[in-house]
Amino acid sequence: MPPQKVTHWLARQASGPADVATDPVWQRRAEWIAIPSGGTKNGGAYLALAQVIDAYLEQNRIVPALTLMQTYAEFMNSETRSFQERHDYDFQAWRLRQRALSEQLPHGPRYLPQQRI
């Protein structure tokens, strides 16, 4: 089944599995019908993604927050500079935020130390 049909079907569901009922992504599923894009001035899916990241961080769920942050960055990096500016997106600042959050992972940060050659 094409992903677009799956997202439309999921958006129409009144309930879901108990293990995802309180998950921020599930709760905001109707906003994922269209993937994020700069086709509009505001790009509503980006706002939903940012709010879900914040919800994960409030729940101290660092791994899903970091995973979604990476997805957000990949989409946002493909947008125009003016679109990024309207959304207060700065890749370097975003990357530093991800790196700082990765310090909270159980096995340490997700980057390799500089190696001497």
> What is the domain partition of the chain in residue ranges?
3-102
**24 burial class (0-12, 13-18, 19+ CB within 10 angstroms)?**
buried
In this prediction, residue 89 carries a pLDDT of 94
What tokens were used for 108? 């340490």
Global pTM value: 0.79
At CA 8, angle to CA 3 and CA 14, rounded to 5?
Answer: 130
Q: What residues in the chain have per-residue pLDDT under 70?
A: 1, 3, 33-43, 110-117
